[in-house]
Amino acid sequence: SAVISQKPSRDICQRGTSLTIQCQVDSQVTMMFWYRQQPGQSLTLIATANQGSEATYESGFVIDKFPISRPNLTFSTLTVSNMSPEDSSIYLCSVEGRSDEKLFFGSGTQLSVL
């Protein structure tokens, strides 16, 4: 399994500001994934981040709102830009296992926007 460190663990932000979430993995991985988990809803994939190329965004998510960086094979950031209360959610970083189809998650970032 992979060990994934994510920070901050939680934050309370003002409307209109931006927050950058960091994700560090203890081993090199090709793909890193960013998910959103809203109360009472299933995990929703925001984007897939591949080192050295632009992230691939899912329907309903755009780069201007959720810019992602992937500078190397163990690190990624997700920025939530120009936040509104609707962005209040848990944001999760994840990676696949090395040899099979298992998804591992970081500890998550609980974001509240006032």
Q: Applying CB under 8 A, which residues contact another protein? A: 1, 4, 6, 9-10, 31, 33, 40-43, 45, 48, 92, 96, 100-108, 110
Asked if residue 103 lies in contact with residue 13, where contact means CB atoms within 8 angstroms, the answer is no
CA-nearest of 85, 49, 84 to 67 is 49
- What is the nearest approach in angstroms of another protein to the Cβ of residue 16? 25
82 or 112, CB closer to another protein? 112
Handedness of CA 51, 59, 96, 22 (dihedral sign): positive
Between vectors from CA 35 to CA 34 and to CA 37, what angle results, nearest 5°? Answer: 155
83 or 106: CB nearest another protein: 106
> Could you tell me the smallest distance in angstroms from the CB atom of residue 33 to another protein?
7
In the bound state with another protein, the residue whose beta carbon lies nearer, of 17 and 112, is 112
